[in-house]
Amino acid sequence: MGKITFLPSGKSIKARPGQTLVSAAAAARVVIPQRCGGHASCLMCRVVLEKGELSAPSALERRKMPENDLLEGIRLGCQAKATDKDCTVRIPESRWKSVVQAALERQRNGED
């Protein structure tokens, strides 16, 4: 069993080979956003492989993701699976979350 570390939270979990990142993240109480229930149709569950190893992209993932993204380590959390090797994946921050945080910060600083 390999260990998966999720960034930016830093939480880690041992995952069995073949377990999807979405499933492992849920077990570690880390949220990888998704809307399609793991069918690779919403593309919301993109993660970045920072180091280590994941399963090879599935045929479905290859159809849905641009080749350049795959080469840069961008994977779909619902399709990418753990191996027996350790890995670290980054869950990109939601654009909406960063917009809301910036607005709240401006409001706190009295900048309307």
What's the CATH code of the domain at 81?
3.10.20.30
pLDDT digits (tens, 9 = 90+) for 28-61: 999 999 999 889 999 999 999 999 999 999 999 9
Q: What is the edge-to-edge ordering of all strands in the sheet holding 87-90?
A: 11-15, 2-7, 87-90, 46-52, 74-76
| pLDDT of res. 107 | 83
| pLDDT of res. 104 | 76
Question: What range does the domain containing 75 cover?
Answer: 2-108
pTM: 0.81
At residue 112, does pLDDT exceed 60?
Answer: no
Q: Considering only 13-17, 18-22, 87-91, 105-109, which range has the smallest mean pLDDT?
A: 105-109
Domain count, the chain: 1
